[in-house]
């Protein structure tokens, strides 16, 4: 597998991947793309899986990194085509490094759609997916315009859209509930904007409260620090608070959505660090709510072909989390790269 990856890498770099206009050649051509990716032996047919992509901002903003993003999405596409039990793919935000650079959105869309054409793909906004304003000294000072994010324009894919069961704003995917089944049981994804506005949290809380028969995973950009501790000094406050824009902190997200509702089984974020899980926060029933962080932006080559898999074994309420190097098919070993939790 390693040789086929580097052949693809050389081809994509030679062709050019991150410059040009919106009319440029797509990053992926299904007629000529690599088809040598073997079936990954790590999938267990008695399990079902969610795939998670950390922050991809340094994939889409650096020309030399884009082939690693393309190759990862080809790996996902080819596994789905060969019958892998993947149910959905989740992106944790920061789809761009600079929201104002439309080429980065184009790069993200073209890469993501390699897999999103065959696997429902859920995205949320990160802090880099908004326009940043400058102070009088020319220094970036925060986010002054909530409406500057281009998520709905570039990330609203067909398979994803068919599974939306609730939206905060019609014709927008910034805040949605995504219908998802694991072994026939509804485990829906509540996908929320970076630093959700208070009214967005009220909407999400109402949906969770009105569906006690379903379980939920909360997906939003900022929840944990790099060391796995829960965020107490919120970057959302720094970014939106500088301009007096309504927002919520990670603590408010947890207290509004996870604490009162025992059917929230996990939370997922990016933004900081690399890979962590925090199990210290408990809901009103005293049950731990695991919070998982996965972020690619600080890794070699923008992410180096890594993807996180959430494995749900049949007839258990257990989730096993691992990181796969899609270049080699190896499980990534190291501190804080594998976790397990149970849910009720």
Q: Which domains does the chain have, with CATH numbers?
A: 2-16+29-34+46-342 (3.60.21.10)
Q: Which residue has the tokens 């052949």?
A: 7
> Token pair of 276, please?
């962590």
Predicted confidence at residue 319, as pLDDT, reads 98
For residue 6, what are the contacts with CB-CB under 8 A and spacing of at least 6? none
For 127-139, what is each residue's pLDDT tens digit?
Answer: 999 999 877 776 7
Angstrom distance (rounded) from CA 266 to CA 279: 10
- Output the average pLDDT for the chain: 91
Give residue 77's pLDDT: 97
Q: Higher confidence at residue 21 or residue 218?
A: 218
How far, in Å, CA of 17 to CA of 204, rounded? 38
pLDDT tops 60 at residue 316:
yes
Percentage above 90 pLDDT, the chain: 84
- pLDDT score for 135: 72
Span 39-59, mean pLDDT?
A: 96
Whether 4 shows a pLDDT value over 60: the answer reads: no
pLDDT tens per residue across span 231-240: 999 999 999 9
Q: Where are the beta strands (DSSP E) in 231-337?
A: 264-269, 275-278, 291-294, 306-313, 318-325, 330-331
Secondary-structure percent of the chain, ordered helix, strand, coil, rounded to 5: 30, 25, 45
Residue tagged 């065959």 (tokens) = 118
Our CA angle for 240, 242, 243, nearest 5°, is 75
Average pLDDT over residues 138-153: 89
pLDDT tens digit string along 327-344? Answer: 999 999 988 999 999 998
For the cut 50, the answer to whether the pLDDT of residue 16 exceeds it is no
pLDDT tens, residue by residue, 64-106: 999 999 999 999 999 999 999 999 999 999 999 999 999 999 9
| pLDDT of amino acid 13 | 42
Q: Give the DSSP per-residue string, 96-107.
A: -S-TT-HHHHHH
Amino acid 36: pLDDT = 59
From CA 233, how far away is CA 335, in angstroms rounded?
Answer: 25
Tell me the pLDDT tens digit for each residue of 250-307.
999 999 999 999 999 999 999 999 999 999 999 999 999 999 999 999 999 999 999 9
223-226 contacts, C-beta under 8 A, 24 or more apart: 223/250, 223/253, 223/254, 223/267, 223/269, 223/271, 223/291, 223/293, 224/250, 224/269, 224/271, 224/272, 224/273, 224/276, 224/278, 224/291, 224/293, 225/272, 225/273, 226/272, 226/273, 226/274, 226/276
What does the pLDDT read at residue 40?
A: 92
Mean pLDDT of 9-29: 44
DSSP 288: B
Query: How confident is the model at residue 35, as a pLDDT?
Result: 53
Residue 326 backbone dihedrals phi, psi, to 5 degrees: -70, -15
Residue 18 has pLDDT above 50, yes or no: no
At residue 134, the pLDDT reads 75
Task: Please tell me the pTM assigned to this model.
Answer: 0.91
Q: What is the pLDDT at residue 49?
A: 98
CA trace torsion 198, 204, 205, 209 (10° rounding): 160
């Amino acid at each position: 597998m390693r040789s086929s990856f580097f052949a693809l890498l050389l081809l994509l770099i030679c062709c050019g991947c991150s410059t040009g206009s919106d009319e440029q050649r797509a990053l992926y051509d299904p007629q000529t793309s690599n088809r040598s990716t073997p079936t990954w032996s790590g999938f267990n047919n008695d399990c079902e899986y969610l795939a998670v992509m950390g922050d991809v901002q340094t994939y889409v903003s650096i020309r030399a990194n884009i082939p690693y993003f393309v190759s990862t999405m080809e790996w996902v596409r080819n596994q789905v085509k060969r019958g892998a039990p993947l149910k959905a793919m989740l992106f944790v935000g920061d789809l761009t490094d600079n929201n104002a650079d439309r080429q980065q959105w184009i790069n993200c869309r073209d890469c993501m759609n390699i897999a999103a054409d065959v696997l429902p793909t859920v995205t949320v906004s990160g802090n880099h997916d908004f326009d940043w304003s400058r102070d009088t000294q020319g220094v970036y000072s925060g986010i002054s315009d909530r409406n500057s994010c281009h998520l709905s324009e570039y990330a609203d894919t067909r398979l994803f859209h068919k599974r939306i069961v609730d939206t905060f704003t019609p014709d927008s995917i910034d805040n949605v509930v995504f219908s998802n089944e694991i072994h026939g049981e509804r485990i829906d994804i509540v996908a929320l904007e970076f630093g959700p506005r208070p009214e967005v949290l009220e909407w999400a809380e109402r949906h969770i409260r009105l569906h006690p028969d379903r379980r939920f995973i909360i997906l939003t950009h900022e929840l944990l620090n790099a060391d796995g501790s829960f965020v107490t000094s919120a970057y959302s406050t720094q970014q939106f608070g500088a301009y007096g824009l309504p927002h919520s902190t990670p603590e408010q997200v947890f207290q509004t959505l996870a604490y009162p509702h025992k059917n929230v089984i996990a939370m997922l974020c990016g933004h900081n660090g690399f890979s962590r899980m925090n199990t210290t926060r408990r809901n009103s029933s005293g049950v731990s709510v695991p919070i998982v962080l996965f972020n690619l932006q600080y890794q070699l080559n923008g992410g180096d072909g890594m993807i996180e898999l959430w494995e749900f074994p049949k007839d258990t309420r257990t989730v096993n989390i691992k990181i796969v190097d899609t270049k080699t098919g190896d499980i990534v070993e190291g501190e804080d790269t594998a976790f397990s939790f149970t849910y009720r």
